[in-house]
Chain A
Amino acid sequence: RKEVEQDPGPFNVPEGATVAFNCTYSNSASQSFFWYRQDCRKEPKLLMSVYSSGNEDGRFTAQLNRASQYISLLIRDSKLSDSATYLCVVNYPGGSYIPTFGRGTSLIVHP
């Protein structure tokens, strides 16, 4: 199984801070990429897709660097409610394009 790696953290930041996570993947043929958010003891929910041209949604910006095989997530003006685990997902080619998860990066935003 090809790997998807993330720094588990936790990243402990004050409200209003900007924080960035990276996720590296090992298969250069990977087709699509996503960031999911998972709250404690809940199912993951899609945060945003990651496009080659970059993707911005409000305070969140996702970028893909194919040459270096990583994706990034930038969160500006962090809110307390942003505290969660952020999972990157990489679709590897092979049959049904198996979605493979990183172990997640924990973010704690404090007052």
Chain B
Amino acid sequence: GAVVSQHPSRVICKSGTSVKIECRSLDFQATTMFWYRQFPKQSLMLMATSNEGSKATYEQGVEKDKFLINHASLTLSTLTVTSAHPEDSSFYICSARAITGDNTGELFFGEGSRLTVL
């Protein structure tokens, strides 16, 4: 099946620093990628929809200047958490949708990135 690679899987950083997370579709092209955040015992919360070659669409309550998303190619989307604070500590997961004619295909997930901000 399709593979989505997410890196790094785990990162610890100091408060105030920025962290970049990469999401790559390895064997398929993904015009749309989704970024989710999951706090312990909570569901995955959609942060933003990343479209190749255009600006990301952010969900209500997600600060676009804090969570910078770049989707420069059909196989790579990046999420940068700028000026990270302890409350940003979470599990961040990207997913890419396999292209189907009606745009409702299966989602493939990256392995997730566990961010801890000290």
Q: Give A contacts to B, CB under 8 Å.
A: 1, 31-32, 34, 41-46, 49, 87, 89, 91, 95-104
A-B contact pairs, 25 of them (CB 8 A): A31-B102, A32-B104, A43-B6, A43-B93, A43-B111, A43-B112, A44-B109, A45-B109, A46-B106, A46-B108, A49-B106, A87-B44, A89-B107, A95-B49, A95-B57, A96-B49, A96-B97, A97-B104, A98-B46, A98-B49, A99-B97, A99-B107, A101-B36, A101-B44, A102-B43
Q: Indicate whether B28 reaches chain A with its CB closer than 8 angstroms.
A: no
Which 5 A-B pairs give the minimum distances between C-beta atoms?
A103-B43, A32-B104, A43-B109, A101-B44, A43-B112
Name the B residues within 8 Å of A104 (CB-CB).
Answer: 43
Chain B contacts for A41, CB-based, 8 A: 91, 114
Q: Which residues of B contact A (CB under 8 A)?
A: 6, 32, 34, 36, 42-44, 46, 49, 51, 57, 59-60, 91, 93, 95, 97, 102-104, 106-112, 114
Q: Most chain-B Cβ atoms within 10 A of its Cβ — which of A34, A43, A101?
A: A43
Which of A31, A42, A44, A45 is in CB contact (< 8 Å) with B44? A44
Task: Given A31-B104, A49-B106, decide whether A96 and B43 contact each other with a Cβ distance below 8 A.
Answer: no
Q: How far is the CA of A32 from the CA of B101 in the complex (A)?
A: 13
The answer to whether A46 touches B107 (Cβ under 8 A) is yes
With a cutoff of 8 Å between Cβ atoms, the chain A residues found around residue B108 in the complex are 46
Please measure, in the bound complex, the distance between the C-alpha atom of A1 and the C-alpha atom of B60, giving whole angstroms: 9
